[in-house]
Structure 1
């Protein structure tokens, strides 16, 4: 059952009614003088939907080389922008936590924590696909809609949304030291903060303790997770694709063997050991959820599975399954940060729509303050597996004082023990601190689709070494808004 269909739980009583969390505020943003007719806005929505469909399906036919321009964002009269004045809409992806914890903290904010005059917060779950969710959010922003007030935005899309004018800059009131450095910088674009860190993500290696031999699963399906895993395969293997402060310089050099060897190696070095395991070809059809299922079953395509790369949230998905515990309730798996730097930083930030109605600005910031408080961050981690962005939460676990999940009576979910949470917190923080961001480019989506197509082509034995390295210029062009299309580079025919 999806999170959208899962019923919410009643909140506990006895909380103070008003919560004052003043450390965040919005910066003033001057409206741009952009002329856009209603038909133009509709055209942009249709164009974006077409782009999303193309990125999810076969490569489009060749077309003349063009340079992408930032889309015009209409100045829509606030009274005509849509939205509900009585609700503060928080647009997010599916709540993939065990127990719909994000929905619970929103419900608790509504009753009894929020100031009485503030609109009620409404969690609106969009597509579970990161790529499709980005397209949905961007399409409404381009149309001047204020249907969404607060966006739970993947860190990979912050640059696009900031530079295209979809979201507003935010002041953090010199509270930067509360946050882990990587998630904080992921929300900074051109020296300004556009996103408040909400959940951090970095890769972890999961090992079956009851099976010492078996294959290694990655997530190489044709979506954003595939891009992340191919980048990690190269960079954890000692190669390099991206460089520079914003990671927008392409450094694919055909004279170097490390990139090619890392990408084509059938082995993955195991964390904290000198051993290696075979990467299963079934990984080409795996996303996060499918690989968790295969890891639980300890097999994929009839082949044994002993290891898996996944996000920290997979820990709770596994720990809550009785099959993943022995008769003494000990976990049948272990978890470690990857061996060495090179993991890709994931996670999300809380951003405020540029089109939010003025009366909702202060309520939006009060809600964001609550969602980034130590209490909520600790609970999202302990009960749902969302990795915290606050240093304080990790330090509490390090000192043995981190929170455990206290679910209401009647819950059939097996929650991790304090010892298990302490281990998870330590390995997660280590991975986050070594992880590297994706390129800070408003055209990252174009880069992601092209890089993934070429890397998958290599794994499918359709793209040669020469062709893969020849993609360097097109990848750099994609990050700078130039569409590669004079020939089907890394397309179906391998050229």
Structure 2
């Protein structure tokens, strides 16, 4: 085990005594029922007004100290729970296979990459439900940075001693895994917004991702803060300042245009953005059309670069890209990405193998491979420096050609713009109840865009948003529902 990654085990034995397997099953079913209930409540939020109900406080769930023999899991496998591999060539799976076949110590269990739901919100619910039930079905979690606080403070994951005195990791991704002064997640993939521009079409609309999911929350936050308004403040970004400088906030949220990064020009933001997620907007950008409207610009994550560059339609006859990328010119982008976290319920014999795998996945070699072949943005300063200096590996297809993969020059450009965006990006609130805030804020912002929520109602949500970050459920609907504009 390397010196910079050492696990710390916390002795929580005896917390609930001997819990039998049927208790685990009951707890898991209860947690899943709660997930379905929350989803039903979210779906009902757009419906008719409901009778006023008192606000309630959410208590952290009790995590049972399940006996190891009853917690499930497979001793012969080290399970890495993650979302869909959205890279152009399933490169994460290839990295795991290389570890299993050539690099892992013989005594270590084989690692298994378990892909859960592609939806960030659903994946979080799946991981949390099993953790709350005391299950050790997952050993390592590839956790979205937005959910680290929830999983740390609720006891789903355990601290890791991470020695980064050499400043290997980028500051933002490193701090995203730090909760209450301890490191709970090792940076794995970084993310920050990029602006994509068609080079063969200078006139056209701008696409955001404003669908009713976490990407909608991210894009609405960016729309306000990149536009000169402010929603969040404080070291942990948990102070709601929505009511300050209301004119700036409202102007940014309702502006029909977006100023192009680094220019004085602007483009119309297409209303079709309300039905767009990351994948749908990439398709529309490729086709240069959405809902019959021409598309020339798009906000998306860096991984969209590879998804576009791998499509022959996005290259001209000389194999030059038909698009370019730019980092936002101002602060206000939202930091995304993921960390590698260790389940609190991992069996002791798996802990050292888990740390060895994490060490490999965050090595310069793997980080460069994930970037060049899959489009996952690195978390290591060293990798960016190599590409910015004209070095670093490019990715070649198995048949020896690199026609559909980014060239070294293209990767250098992508690395430069991505790093700049990451350094400017701001994290989402470090609250264990971020999910409640996200759902409420998105409902209010979407209501404004759908002409269903007035200015007065939108700014009246500030108190409810603050309450959501502190674990108070806002049940007196229809706040930010249909208020009869």
TM-score above 0.5 = yes
User: Which residue of 1 is the match for residue 257 of structure 2?
Assistant: 267
Match of 2:266 among 266, 276, 289: 276
**8 Å Cα contact 1:34-1:73 kept in structure 2:** no
Counterparts of 1:329-368 in structure 2, within 5 Å, are 329-368=319-358
**2:34 alignment counterpart:** 47
Q: Is the 8 A contact 1:202 1:346 kept in 2?
A: yes
Residue 208 (structure 1) aligned with residue 189 (structure 2): no
Cross-structure match for 2:161: 171
**Which residue is 2:135 aligned to?**
145
1:475 aligns with 2:475: no
Asked if the contact 2:159/2:183 (under 8 Å) is kept, the reply is: yes
Give the Cα–Cα distance (whole angstroms) in 2 for the partners of residues 440 and 29 of structure 1: 23
In 1, Cα distance between equivalents of 2:147 and 2:229 = 25
Correspondence 1:449-488 to 2 at 5 A: 449-488=439-478
Unmatched runs of 5 consecutive residues or more in structure 1: 1-19
Distance in 2 of aligned mates of 1:148 and 1:404:
33
Is the aligned partner of 1:111 residue 2:101? yes
Partner SS, residue 432 of structure 2: coil
Q: Is the Cα contact below 8 Å between 1:52 and 1:135 reproduced in 2?
A: no
CA distance in 2, matches of 1:411, 1:444: 45
> Residues 55-66 of structure 1: matches in 2 within 5 Å?
55=42, 58-59=45-46, 61=50, 63-66=53-56
Which ranges of structure 2 fall in alignment gaps of 5 or more residues? Answer: none
Q: Which runs of 4+ in 1 moved over 6 A?
A: 410-413
Give 1:245-264 correspondences, 5 Å limit.
245-253=235-243, 256-264=246-254
- Deviation string, structure 1 residues 97-149 (Cα, Å, up to 9, x no partner): 00000000000000010000000000000000000000000000000000000
**Distance in 2 of aligned mates of 1:43 and 1:34:** 20
Matches within 5 A, 1:88-127: 88-127=78-117
The answer to whether residue 19 in structure 2 is matched with residue 28 in structure 1 is no
1: CA distance, partners of 2:100 / 2:484 = 54
**Deviation digits for residues 239-273 of structure 1, max 9, x if unmatched?**
00000000000001265310000000001010110
Q: How does 1:351-390 map to 2 (within 5 A)?
A: 351-390=341-380
CA 59–244 in structure 1, closer or farther in 2 if over 3 Å, else same: same
Give the equivalent residue in structure 2 for 1:324: 314
Match of 2:289 in 1: 299
**CA-based RMSD:** 1.6
Q: 1:309 aligns with which of 291, 295, 299?
A: 299
Is 2:178 the partner of 1:188?
A: yes
C-alpha deviation, 1:411, in angstroms: 7.5
TM-score using structure 2 length:
0.95
Deviation per residue, 1:138-171 (Å, 9 max, x gap): 0000000000000000000000000000001001
Question: Does the CA contact (< 8 Å) of 1:45 and 1:142 recur in 2?
Answer: no
Cα distance between partner residues in 2 of 1:239 and 1:471: 16
**Contact in 1 for aligned 2:45/2:481 (Cα 8 Å):** no
Give the whole-Å Cα distance in 1 for the aligned partners of 2:36 and 2:428. 23
